[in-house]
Every structure is written in structure tokens, then in C-alpha cells.
Amino acid sequence: MPILDNEIVWRPAAMVSDTTPAQNGGRMAFSQLVSGVKNNLFPDVSQSERTSGSTKWRKAFIHVASAQDTALLNVRLFLDAMTPAGDFVVFHPGTQTDTEDQVTSRPYGIGTLHANLAAGATQILVACEHNAEYATLQPFRAGDLVRVSNRSSTGGAGNEEWVTVTNATYGAEYATLDISSALVNAYDTADTLVSSVFELPSVVSSYNDVTVTSAGGTFDSATVGNLSVHNMGAIEESWTLTFTSATDYTVSGMTVGILSSPGSIAADYAPLNPATGTPYFSIQTLAWGGSFAAGDTVTFTTHPAAIPIWYRRQVPAGTFSLANDYCSLAIHGESA
């Protein structure tokens, strides 16, 4: 079955701090960031922040919470709305565990047209959301895929094209993007957005680094289905299975500790993630072979079907007040 829209869920990071970067971000939490809810990601901007300016970071995860364990393919992330207030937001790709002080990735941003575009155009002039700051951040770069769209909403009526940037330069009022293929449609400044796009080939839960420490036991993780990691319940975790006898083992994770349910090579094993009520992973009896002894171990690492993203909100000094400010990050993908 294909992945449904409601199976793509935004989730917060486990830690939030505006004073200690090493305590802001981290791993995915399983609560949900509901679109349109006030302060679901960023706090209000105080008068002192608007006066002197501020920059805040928030981490979120786009979780493919599908029970089908299907990969989301040809994934594209992009901002699809300008902030209506005087602040601006860019996003940076993250890792499953990084904190604010560890962010080294480049930003992706958004702008409107500085000048109308005729069909066949090979150069785009982009009035960036805050052009002076964008000239430093450079969220449009050579090699980027960019989205040009005058749709009324993402997926709504209008035109949308995806083109590749061959050169990007920043001036005082706009950025100039040369593109490798001509635009098919014409676009005007009144209703056209231009977004730099972060691409991923696929998003699906996975595992790696399987290690067996045993004189006589074997564990076949290469055969499909023997070891499975599930989109809905998987977490970023290093797991250790420790044998207490020739057949039985305990299971512990680096962050979750020892699980309450032990396993046995004589039965299929699927420990539940209490946050979702679905398995972290599952092991079939066919995976086991040879002879194990107490003290033997099997270790592996699991990764969730989630895209870690950092939002960077900058409030320039002297920014005006607005009651209903927001930013919007869209995801585009395919599934079998």
C-alpha cells in the first residue's frame, strides 16, 4: 500500500534550550507537532528580541509513520511560504542525534521573483526573504534543485517546475540564479515562490553494524525478513542481545536500557516501542543458527524512518510585531 499523507508526521526533538546549544535538539521524541498550533515549535518573540534582534534554532523530525514499512522515495523538502512577519526562517539538514552546537550543514531558503519570467527563461532573479542575510547564508547554490511555483498552495492550482542551478550570485536586492534548463511556463512577481530544495533518494527505517560475538552461534541478518526494522516504531538506537543460556537472551539499548521482555532463539521476537505500541524491530527464528552460550552477544544499530531538520529563525533588529506569524516546510515524495 502507498504511504498516506496522514502517515507523514512532524515530531519534535527530545531537548529544547535557547541558552545551552548542547542541550537543544538530540533524538526524536514521539509527540506530534500539529500544523497551525501556536508555539508548537518556536516561542513568541519578545519586544526586547524585536528591538535588538535574535536567532533561535529548533529541531524537528519528519517521520514516515507507516505500518507498511514502505520507503518514501525521491524525497524533496522545501519552504513553501514566506513568513508574514519581519523575521525569516531557513532550514538545515540534521542528523538523528545532533544538537545545535553540532550543526554544520548548509541552509535552504525561499524568495519571490524580483522580475517577471517569460516561458523559456534560463535566469531567475530572486528577491530573497532577507536578501542581506541571505548573501551571507547563501541558501541558493550552484548544483541546487530549485522549485519555481505559482500554485495557490502546495499541490493546489497553478504551475510548478523543478530546475537545477548552474550559478548563483547575490546582490544588494536579489540573487541571480542561472538554470540549466529553460522554464516551460511564464511566472510573475505577484504570486511566484522560488525555493531551494533538499533531496533524499529515500526515507525508510533501517539497520546496520550487525556483530556476533560467539564461538559457535550464528545470526543471519542478510536474508530478507530475518531482521526487520519498522517505520512506525524504530528509533535511533544501538542494541545489544546478551545470551543468558544457550537459547535465551536479554535485550538492551544504549538509551532505553534493558527491555522488560527477553527473547529466545526458539520464537520470533518483536519488542514493542511503548510510544507507538508497535515493534522497535523484529527477529525471526530462522535468523539463528549454530550453538550459543551464556555471555555471547549480538549487536546492531537501528535507524528510524525520519528526516531530522533544523529550523533557524532570525529576527532582525527593529522587527515589527505580528500576532499570527508562521513558517511552512513542505515535503514531496513518492511511494510504491
Domain boundaries, the chain: 5-203+306-334, 206-303
Residue-level pLDDT, tens digit, the chain, 336 residues: 689 899 999 999 999 999 999 999 999 999 999 988 888 999 889 899 899 999 999 999 999 999 889 999 999 999 999 999 889 999 999 999 999 999 999 999 999 999 999 999 999 999 998 888 898 999 999 999 999 999 977 777 899 999 999 999 999 999 999 999 999 999 999 999 999 999 999 999 999 999 999 999 999 999 999 999 999 999 999 999 999 999 999 999 999 999 999 999 999 999 999 999 999 999 999 999 999 999 999 999 999 999 999 999 999 998 888 888 889 999 999 987
User: Model pTM?
Assistant: 0.94
Distance in angstroms (rounded) separating the CA atoms of residues 131 and 123: 18
C-alpha cell, 45: 518573540
Closest C-alpha to 70, from 198, 201, 223, 202: 202
| Contact by Cβ (8 Å): 40, 33 | yes
The pLDDT of residue 136? 92
Helices then strands (H, E): number in the chain?
Answer: 2, 25
Can you state the percent helix, strand and coil of the chain, rounding each to 5?
A: 5, 45, 50
Q: Give per-residue pLDDT as tens, 155-185.
A: 778 999 999 999 999 999 999 999 999 999 9
H-type helices in the chain, by residue range? 47-52, 131-137
